[in-house]
Amino acid sequence: MLTEGRLIKEYKPRYNVAFRDDKRFLMLRADPEEPFPQFRVCRFARDDGALYFGPYVSSPATRSTLDFLEKHYGIRKCNPRVPDASTYRHCINDIIRFCMAPCVGKVGAEAYREIFNEACAFLRGERPAVLRELREKMKTASAGMDFEKAAVLRDTLQDLEKVVRQKARVVATPEMRSEEARRGVEELRKELCLGHSPRRIECFDVSNISGTFSVASLVCAENGMPAPAHYRRFRIRTVAGADDPGMIMEAVKRRYTRTVSEQGELPDLVIVDGGLTQLRAARAALGGLSLGEVPVVGLAKRLEEIYWNDPGEPLRLPADSRALLVIRRIRDEAHRFALDYHRRIRNRRMKESLLDDVPGIGETRKQKLLKHFGSVRRLAEATEEQIANVPGMGYEMARLVRQHLTLLRKGVK
């Protein structure tokens, strides 16, 4: 249902009116940086370092869970960031035993935070004993003929079970992401036995369809964070067919030939998308440039194995390893960048090929038209007179071009 609601809001299907409003599913938010953290209902997760639990499909279940957390754990529900005695004078939650009352010192900050952490653990599904205890109370009430109380406990239990199945997530601030990346880079240094931390990492990937429209990408990360200003794209020139290692070798050779000639900064670590053959290709290219001292690793997709010791077994890091997370993010970014470039070239070539169907348009005239107008889309929007003014064309040829490219006005961009 969460996915359905997101897609309906995004695409707005004409006959599906459910979820068409601008509302979002409810979440529970808690800021662990507050002196006495509390839970609030919200609809948007922001980059503020807070804990967000959800989103939850059922709004009533979400609000019922919030009520349970405040009553069961004694979590405060007052508004002030730091409650004090004046807050206490206008509050009855302590009187009816729903609050630990940190405002008047009935519980210290450390003890309050321990209980708050227990409430968070419950929301993450890590305290099943709480649900079992509630279920036993329901059975006891039912056995004692107190059916009204049993029904309330049953409804509460059902709401809680709907909520605690979904895990919490932290929306990290840029500072938090940067610190996490820095730790991952340092962990990567230890795992690969590098002499110093790989501050600058560059990663290569290739993209092609059965060896056609072959391209390569280079992305760069500094201290584990993307550095788009140093991204580069390559059209593969010397490799024919689906030869990924050959394409990696060409891209690496071209990249660092230019780096050396311009006395640019060399990376502390090079990553290639692939296994042992891609690793050997990259090392061969660097060796040919007398850059064999630059560390190179290959990251294979299937099992996320890191090839770095040839010959030798690949390095297999735990799925939650910070080092693996850093290297995988950089590899995925290189893959995205390569696919984007490949898609753009493929689409451009497909549009250009439309000119091949125009009678009398050979390669020379096609290149003149593309050079003059810049793209097939602009050519399709041009008038006959503008086309006829291109050297080597004329009005008769312009008329034919206009007729054959009318379809571009109907959807080709």
Q: Which of 324, 329, 331, 130 is nearest to 217 (CA)?
A: 331
Q: Is the pLDDT of residue 230 over 90?
A: yes
Token readout for 89 is 């004078």
On whether the CB atoms of residues 204 and 252 are closer than 8 A, the answer is: yes
Q: Is the pLDDT of residue 14 over 60?
A: no
Q: Residue written as tokens 């409003």?
A: 21
Q: What are phi and psi of 99, to 5 degrees?
A: -140, 145
pLDDT bin (cut points 50, 70, 90) of residue 22 is very low
Q: Residue written as tokens 């490799």?
A: 239
Q: Is the pLDDT of residue 260 over 50?
A: yes
pTM of the model: 0.54
pLDDT bin (cut points 50, 70, 90) of residue 252 is very high
On whether the CB atoms of residues 298 and 307 are closer than 8 A, the answer is: yes
Residues 31-53: tens digit of each pLDDT: 988 889 999 999 888 878 889 98
For residue 202, give Cα distances in angstroms to 90, 225, 294, 297: 60, 11, 11, 11
Residues 297-332: tens digit of each pLDDT: 999 877 789 998 877 788 988 877 889 999 999 999
More confident call, 364 vs 1: 364
Q: Is the pLDDT of residue 375 over 90?
A: no
Domain residue limits, the chain:
2-170, 177-347, 358-410
Residues 148-168: tens digit of each pLDDT: 999 999 998 888 888 876 554
More confident call, 360 vs 185: 185
Confirm whether 177-347 and 358-410 share one CATH topology. no
CA angle 323, 243, 226 (to 5 degrees): 30
Q: Is the pLDDT of residue 6 over 60?
A: no
For residue 20, give Cα distances in angstroms to 9, 10, 12, 13, 41: 6, 9, 7, 9, 21
pLDDT bin (cut points 50, 70, 90) of residue 226 is very high
pLDDT at 108: 87
CATH superfamily of 177-347: UvrC, RNAse H endonuclease domain (3.30.420.340)
CATH superfamily of 358-410: 5' to 3' exonuclease, C-terminal subdomain (1.10.150.20)
On whether the CB atoms of residues 58 and 95 are closer than 8 A, the answer is: no
More confident call, 338 vs 376: 338
